[in-house]
A and B are shown apart, each in its own frame.
Chain A
Amino acid sequence: MSKRDIRAVGIAGWGRTLGAAIISLIYFFPVLFIILTAFKTRQDALAWPMKFIFAPTLSNFVSVFFRTSVEGGDAEATGFGLYFFNSVFIGGTSVLLALIIGTAAAYGFSRFPLRGNDTYLFMILTTRMMPPIIAIIPIFVLFRIFGLSGTYVGIIALYTAFNLPFSVWMVKSFFDDLDRDIEDAARMDGSGEWRVFKKICLPQVYAGLAATFVFAVILTWNEFVFALMLTSPETRTVPAQIVRTIGGSMGVDWGLMSALETLFIIPVVLVTFALQNQLLRGVTFGTIRR
């Protein structure tokens, strides 16, 4: 390869990187804008033309958790610490539960089909064919009757139920893609069905489980309507509280809102980044396996 060729490749490479950077910037700009605003004072946040160079402040982040009243006096906790905990606890628990139950169900559907297997699978799918909001009145009434309104158990059970169909279908597709000969080999090697599942099948779908986990986490993390209706001040999640924070007598506090949103996306970003390798392998499962 001559020197000129190397330079040509280099230029093409730089061009590609630059192009990718520009496209990313366009897509990422709203998020970037929110993050920048989170570090601005109220004056900077409202300034026009908008400022990209400013003296950053953490005051918005402090105000997320502590509010000083206009009349002065001691700062008062806003409760967002609890709401963040609730979001993580409720979201995490329900997604994990859905994944555990879903994986067991998916393996069953995939490997031990019942009479009418497809019908059951279709029935599970139908629950995702309409927006869940349709069921809000019956669910609200049921929660009242069983005393589940405002409890962790209630909202976790509900989110688990919402995540289950998705988990079952997605994880089943990963199990379906596995090479059955490998399981037969394990049986020949003296393994019972449980060991085949645990030692042979499950490790092969870890990437798929991670992908399912991330998708379910994002769905649950953003859930708003049921959180608004069915949680109490003790079990409230972040989205249900954000809506109560917008507006007020003093107008919209953009800095505060941006700080809130910045904090809100951090956990999802962390989860996605932590699992990005598995995520990529999970969503391309089957296509690159052979």
Chain B
Amino acid sequence: MSATQSDIRLHNVTKRFNELIAVNAANLTVAAGEVVCLLGPSGCGKTTTLRMIAGLDFASDGEITIAGRRVNELPARDRNVAMAFQFYALYPSLTVEENLAYPLHAEGLSRAQIAERIARVAKVLELQSVLKRRPHQLGEGEKQRVAVGRSIVRTPTCFLFDEPLSRLDIQLRQTMRTQIKEVLAHLDKPTVIVTHDQIEALTMADRIAVMRAGRIEQVASPHDLFSRPANLFVAGFIGTPQMNLLPATLLDVAHSAEGGAVARFHLLGEDISAAVDPAAVRLSAGSKVTLGVRPRSFEIVAPDVPDALHSVVDLVEPMGAEMLLHLLEHGTDIRCVVSHTARVAVGEKVGVRCKQGQLHVFDETGVLVQ
């Protein structure tokens, strides 16, 4: 089997439940050794997509291939796909050891081989001391590890995780995140993780597929997703605090000497100019655009600096090493993150300017101009 054949491919996969279209023509490729997160708000179709790969739901349309083989009609038990469920779904009447052994029965291994595999997984996940216990005697973190253990104990074609960390407290979450990442790195199999938690996605995934209302909006690396969100939805969904999305009118745009472009916008009652992506020159003057600026892309400047927005500090939220400022200009709330050492007072007039090269321009249809 060649390397390219051990991937998961979704080609125009659609899932309809009667009238409802849960997943709409999804296209996605997950390569061997790659971790792809399906990220989106609840009800966006991410779990349905996962269940179709698993064989627990069947695609209404399109094609799913795993390791080069079309699996659309194949029931879950014949797909050799490992999946960890959100609520762990451990077998309550079996001990941890028996839970780990369960998937191996299907592979027809000898008793010694099974024992050896369990010992190996128990060692990796530090489960040796709880092997004889039943699921209801385990803590949340242990349950999670057993669930992961049960999926990595065999040699499946790919791994699927449904909200793997949602039930853990924050500290445990970080430990498990690292642990799962380490375990997956050694397996060299395609992995799909469903989550609604963007921190989880950003930290665990090689690439993230952002979904909304059954559609995959963008597939990109965490960095690209953050720095070049394809549209307004992705821009607003990724990143905390949320990106500022400010409606503006393009006054004019021209190539600059350095090969970039400079545009003038009418924004919140002021005219400002800023460096933009050269692709912006295709926009016609007077068109409505949305400017996206991450709260950390703003810098506070003196009120008299040109090309800055002039606003009033409305609220200061301390966030530890940083402060979240809410600035008010023409009734619009602008979120801006500054260092906690910055000296700003509520009611103070400040200038605020986007840092060079960190302005996102979205056209009238909400698509990033790039």
Task: Using CB atoms and an 8 Å cutoff, list the residues of chain A in contact with chain B.
Answer: 179, 181-182, 184-192, 199-200, 203-204, 206
Contacts and interface: CB of A to CB of B under 8 A. Distances in A.
Interface stretch (B11-19, B62-70, B102-110, B323-331): B102-110
B341 interface: no
Contact of A204 (B54, B79, B93): B93
Contacts of B89: 179, 181-182, 184-185
B364 to A, nearest CB: 44
Contacts of A181: 85-87, 89
A198 B103 CA distance: 15
Interface of B: 54-56, 75-83, 85-87, 89-94, 102-103, 105-107, 150
A185 B106 contact: no
Closest 6 CB pairs of A and B: A190-B106, A203-B93, A189-B103, A181-B89, A185-B89, A187-B76
A141 to B, nearest CB: 47
Given A189-B102, A189-B150, A184 B56 contact: yes
Given A185-B89, A203-B94, 9 more contacts: A181-B85, A182-B90, A185-B85, A187-B75, A187-B77, A188-B55, A188-B77, A188-B83, A206-B93
B48 to A, nearest CB: 13
6 contacts: A181-B87, A185-B91, A187-B75, A188-B83, A200-B93, A204-B92
Contact of A190 (B92, B94, B103): B103
Nearest to A202: B93
User: Which residue among A188, A192, A200, A206 has the maximum number of chain B CB atoms within 10 Å of its CB?
Assistant: A188
B221 to A, nearest CB: 29
Nearest to B102: A189
A188 B91 CA distance: 13
B105 A190 contact: yes
Contacts of A192: 77
Given A179-B87, A181-B85, A188 B93 contact: no
Contact of A188 (B54, B86, B87, B92): B54
A204 B82 CA distance: 23
B107 A190 contact: yes
A199 B101 CA distance: 13
A199 B82 CA distance: 19
A184 B47 CA distance: 14
A191 B106 contact: yes
Contacts of B54: 184, 188
B74 to A, nearest CB: 12
A184 B76 contact: yes
B83 A185 contact: yes
A251 B83 CA distance: 74
Nearest to A192: B77
Given A182-B91, A182-B92, A204-B93, A190 B77 contact: yes
Contacts of B81: 188
B107 A188 contact: no
A111 to B, nearest CB: 14
A218 to B, nearest CB: 27
Contacts of B102: 186, 189, 191, 199
A187 B160 CA distance: 14
B80 A190 contact: yes
Nearest to B135: A182
A184 B85 contact: yes
A200 B91 contact: yes
